[in-house]
């Protein structure tokens, strides 16, 4: 029979507080927020248990007037330490891809569906762990508030976690990458792969090919911002 501790720890990792209450950031989100107000409030978020593992909240970054919002999964090791999204290896690859696709990162808003780094120790290393649905749901009020403030014209989901959280659980990036999908989130919504999936390719040739396809997906964006119909 499962002991109380095991049950509690399973519940915590599934985003349920002792007592059966579902975890959520909702109570931490200020009313009528600005981006800086959101960032400040999110720094103290205890809406789910992930704050205990992360160094700090890694909130989204960019202009409140950004026309493009890029949404990843969760901060990685370097982002957790820096307190900024997409500043590690995946972020550097993303920067290169954005530049090649003609998207100025300084004019985009970059964020994640989950704002704390979820990891487990392996020796001295902190190994990324995929966030659960309940952790994604608990963090969702922050992303909704970012969307409300920024009101981007285009939302780009980076990878399956973001795409399935924002477009639908059945969404398959492998089948529908680069395709504009109907969504209440923004006028234009699309998904592509996560930049770290490119870094994980077996060899340089595969990495280059995947990078080129990633850039092609992102090239969909600039014409949309110039008022050209898709």
Cα dist from 40 to 57, 73, 74, 82, 192, whole Å? 10, 21, 18, 16, 30
Shortest Å, Cβ 77 to ligand URA: 9
Name which of residues 45 to 74 contact ligand URA (CB under 6 A): 72-74
Binding mask 6-45 for ligand URA (x = CB under 6 A): ----------------------------------------
Q: For residue 213, give the H/E element and its range.
A: helix 204-218
Nearer to ligand URA, 137 or 158 (CB): 158
Are 61 and 69 spatial neighbours (Cβ–Cβ below 8 Å)? no
**Could you say whether residue 75 binds ligand URA (CB under 6 A)?**
yes
Cα dist from 135 to 26, 58, 149, 180, whole Å? 13, 15, 22, 27
**Could you say whether residue 80 binds ligand URA (CB under 6 A)?**
no
Binding mask 110-139 for ligand URA (x = CB under 6 A): --x---------------------------
CA distance 25 to 57: 12
# of chain residues touching ligand URA (CB under 6 A): 13
Taking Cα atoms as reference points, which of 15, 50, 47 lies closest to residue 133?
15
Sequence-distant (≥ 6) Cβ neighbours of residue 100 within 8 angstroms: 215, 218
Name which of residues 187 to 206 contact ligand URA (CB under 6 A): 196
Q: Which parts of this chain interact with ligand URA (CB under 6 A)?
A: 72-76, 79, 85-86, 88, 90-91, 112, 196
């Amino acid at each position: 029979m499962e002991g109380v501790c095991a049950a509690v720890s399973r519940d915590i990792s599934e985003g349920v507080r002792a007592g059966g209450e579902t975890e959520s950031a909702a109570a931490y989100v200020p009313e009528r927020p600005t981006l800086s107000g959101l960032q400040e409030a999110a720094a103290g978020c205890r809406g789910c248990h992930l704050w205990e593992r992360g160094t700090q909240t890694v909130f989204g970054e960019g202009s409140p007037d950004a026309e493009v919002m890029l949404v990843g999964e969760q901060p990685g090791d370097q982002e957790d330490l820096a307190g900024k999204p997409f500043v590690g290896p995946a972020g550097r690859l993303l920067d290169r891809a954005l530049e090649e696709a003609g998207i100025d990162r300084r004019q985009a808003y970059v964020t994640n569906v989950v704002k704390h780094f979820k990891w487990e120790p392996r020796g001295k290393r902190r190994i990324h762990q995929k966030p659960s649905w309940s952790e994604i749901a608990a963090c969702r009020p922050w992303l909704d508030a970012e969307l409300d403030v920024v009101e981007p014209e285009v939302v780009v989901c980076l990878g399956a976690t973001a795409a399935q959280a924002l477009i639908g659980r059945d969404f398959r990036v492998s089948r529908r990458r680069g395709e504009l999908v109907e969504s209440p989130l923004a006028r234009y919504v699309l998904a592509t792969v996560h930049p770290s999936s490119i870094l994980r390719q077996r060899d340089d040739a595969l990495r280059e090919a995947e990078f080129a396809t990633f850039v092609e997906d992102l090239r969909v964006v600039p014409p949309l911002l110039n008022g050209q119909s898709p």
